[in-house]
Amino acid sequence: MDEITKLLQAIPQEPDILARERYFNCAVLVPLVKIDSQWHFLFQVRSPDIRQGSEICFPGGGFDDGLDKTLRDTAIRESYEELGVATENIELLRQLDTLVSPTGVIVESYLGILHIKNLAELQINREEVDKVFIVPIDFFVSENIEEYKINVEMRPYDYDGGVRIETFPAKELGLPEKYHNSWGVQQHRAIIYRTKAGVIWGITAEIIYGIMQKWQALL
């Protein structure tokens, strides 16, 4: 077997995200519910005492290789744990686009239907979820979007007690001087939706925006 053949055998036929294992891999369910003959997205507000407390999000969480075979499993498991909806009442419709955030998180999201008649059927895990609410799909049209910019920079140092600590020895490595201090400052879009239940932003807003861009393109 020559080297090229070995190389091709080592490379998967379907490409993945480079260095995925270095990121935090998670999955979310984008739940649809039909209430009063109208389709809604369902959101949850995280409990105030947990990480990113009181923020609005979709049910989901990190991949657990002890419990999940795939990230699809993660989305279903987390939805069951957080919302208390039976797995047989979760119908996954389609996997959505992969989102790679500038904070080092890879999110696989799945559009699905919760087969419930009303929100009272949910048995919310109060340790993780403060409350849930629904918003009609047609609320998320372009005129309800606000857009801002967040700066993200590459910085080869940190500070500890006022002392500069080099985390990447750019000068010692002989790299150009522009890499000795902060560089590559980029502005990332921040999508905002203001709802009666609170502000939807960040990863959750980006997922919604991606769905609605495709949906509105068909109108």
Is residue 102 in a domain? yes
| pLDDT score at 169 | 95
| pLDDT score at 198 | 95
- The dihedral region occupied by 45, where left means phi > 0, alpha psi between -120 and 50, and beta the remainder, is beta
Count of domains forming the chain: 1
Range of the domain at 41: 21-149+184-217
Is residue 95 in a domain? yes
If DSSP codes are grouped into helix, strand and coil, which group holds residue 189? strand
Cα separation, 7 vs 191, whole angstroms: 42
| pLDDT score at 2 | 87
Cα separation, 181 vs 218, whole angstroms: 47
Helix, strand, coil share of the chain (percent; to 5): 25, 40, 35
C-alpha distance across the termini of the chain, in Å: 54
Q: Is the dihedral of CA 105, 99, 30, 57 positive or negative?
A: positive
CATH of the domain at 74: 3.90.79.10
Is residue 140 in a domain? yes
| pLDDT score at 167 | 96
| pLDDT score at 141 | 85
Strands 99-100 and 56-57: unpaired
Per-residue pLDDT tens listing for the chain (219 residues): 789 999 999 998 989 999 999 999 999 999 999 999 999 999 999 998 888 778 999 999 999 999 999 999 999 999 999 999 999 999 999 999 999 998 899 999 999 999 999 999 999 999 999 999 999 999 998 778 999 999 999 999 999 999 999 999 999 999 999 999 999 888 999 999 999 999 999 999 999 999 999 988 887
Stated pTM of the model: 0.91
Is residue 158 in a domain? no
| pLDDT score at 88 | 94
Is residue 176 in a domain? no
